[in-house]
Chains A and B, each alone.
Chain A
Amino acid sequence: MIALVDYGAGNLTSVRKALAAIDAAVFTPDRPGALEAARAVIVPGVGHFAATRPLDEGWRAAMHAGLAAGRPLLGICVGLQWFFDGSAEEPGLPGLGLFPGVCTRLGTGTPPALKVPHVGWNSLTLPRASRLFDGVANDAQVYFTHSYAAPVVTDTVAICEYGVPFSAAVERGLVSAVQFHPEKSGDVGLRVLKNWVQGLTDQRTTAGAR
């Protein structure tokens, strides 16, 4: 079973539905210790970075311990942002620090002024092969809705551009994350989720690899 972490940040209905559509069984852990029963963990999220506040030391420790024990992690939207060091949206609230850098507000750069939130379908650039985007075309479009974005880092496997280039997806070892909403991105989104779920089997044999 995959643990879908519900920390009260909006609605898990769509993520559940998408995972059901690809035959992935999920449960919602009620405490950090419950993650031990999971084969993998999804940190969803939508909205404000401050919503990650309930993911306290207990949850953070359980996720780190899970990684050490070979349990993969997938972040979605704010989940991706939380995997970085933090966000300018809520300074002082640390992320999990799996990827370096702080998320910054979109649309603050030079003109032309951009509408924020960045809402809608935007295209991906895939700088290298990755597990998540296996079989997905370069330039494929996915659905975004967010005001803050994570920087492009070494582990960025999909780049999107909205005024500035940002990490649309990152992948390193057992950790994957997407800024867009795969559960709202039609067939491309389902493909990305399916790739991640299929990858869980392979990853078990390389547990702990970072």
Chain B
Amino acid sequence: MLSKRIIACLDVRDGRVVKGVNFEGLREAGDPAALARRYNVEGIDEIVILDVTATLEARQARAQTIRAVAQEIFLPLAVGGGIRTEDDAAAAIEAGADKVSLNTAALQQPALITTLAQRYGSQAVVVAIDAKREGGHFGVYVRSGSTGTARDAVDWAREAADRGAGEILLTSIDKDGTRSGFDCEMTAAVSTAVPIPVIASGGAGTFEHFAEVFTTGCADAALAASIFHFNEHSVVALKQFLAARGVPVRL
């Protein structure tokens, strides 16, 4: 049976892992390669590097971080943050990424999704959606959650899938960094609307939160950062908890 994936996210800035609350007030958590090595041993299923403040100048640094992390793990590795062009994506993949995650760039130039899917296959293209509750729907935000768009998360996820995305990485801005649980309602709304896997992100605080997002949230994978980085919870213990609750995981 296909396992539900537990994904560790490394939010990287200037080559160091940081993690903030609601995308602000970043605090330092360490060396990306060292963290990746630990996760590999602990049985994490996948690693995502998000270059949270990626700039033009940061491109070189990003490739070095990708290479350093890829050196440590024989696991799928996705990279996002500041990937705006086909060249950016190619550089990340060349450095060792298996997938690239597009966010702002996908909204601004949706054709990039198709271009990359044709060049590398859909499995290499993740569209990241940062969304916030707005009345009766889920509004899409860009630029690290600071800028609203006119898009609805469910509609945008559908379009991204139609254009060739292989996965959706859905982050709840309301929940991100709060450790109060994933936004299961939003995750389910997107996950049941698209024919591709959805990774839930934002709000992981307890093992119970993961069980919820895999059941009521209909998530195919769940991503967390801070709860793993500070050694508060081990990946193994989380998976044992999920297995006992009947959620298929890789142990």
A91 interfacial by beta-carbon distance below 8 Å: no
B70 interfacial by beta-carbon distance below 8 Å: yes
Pick the contact of B93 from A10, A118, A161, A183 — CB < 8 Å? A10
Chain B contact patch, size range:
20 to 34
Contact B196 A117 (CB under 8 A): yes
Contact B45 A147 (CB under 8 A): no
Give the A-B contact count at a CB cut-off of 8 A: 100
Whole-angstrom distance between the Cβ of A108 and the nearest chain B Cβ? 11
Contact A117 B166 (CB under 8 A): yes
A122 to B121, CA, bound (A): 20
Contact A115 B71 (CB under 8 A): no
Whole-angstrom distance between the Cβ of B83 and the nearest chain A Cβ? 15
A119 to B197, CA, bound (A): 7
A51 to B124, CA, bound (A): 14
- Chain B interface helix/strand/loop/mixed: loop
Contact A115 B220 (CB under 8 A): yes
A47 to B195, CA, bound (A): 18
A55 interfacial by beta-carbon distance below 8 Å: no
A48 to B121, CA, bound (A): 6
B98 interfacial by beta-carbon distance below 8 Å: yes
A167 interfacial by beta-carbon distance below 8 Å: no
Task: Using A14-B96, A143-B75 as known contacts, say yes or no to A121 and B250 having CB atoms under 8 A apart.
Answer: yes
A13 interfacial by beta-carbon distance below 8 Å: yes
Residue in A closest to B251 when the chains form the complex, CB atoms: A141
B104 interfacial by beta-carbon distance below 8 Å: no
Residues of A at the B interface (CB closer than 8 Å) are 10-11, 13-14, 17-18, 21, 46-48, 51, 107, 113, 115-123, 141, 143, 145-147, 161-162, 181, 183-187, 189-190
**26 interchain pairs, CB-CB under 8 A:** A11-B98, A13-B95, A13-B96, A14-B96, A17-B71, A17-B96, A47-B123, A115-B197, A117-B166, A117-B197, A119-B123, A119-B197, A119-B220, A120-B5, A120-B197, A120-B220, A122-B1, A122-B3, A141-B3, A141-B250, A143-B76, A145-B123, A181-B76, A184-B98, A187-B74, A189-B74
Beyond A14-B70, A46-B124, A141-B3, 15 extra complex contacts between A and B, CB < 8 Å: A13-B93, A14-B96, A17-B74, A17-B96, A113-B195, A115-B195, A115-B220, A120-B4, A120-B5, A120-B45, A120-B197, A121-B250, A122-B1, A145-B98, A145-B166
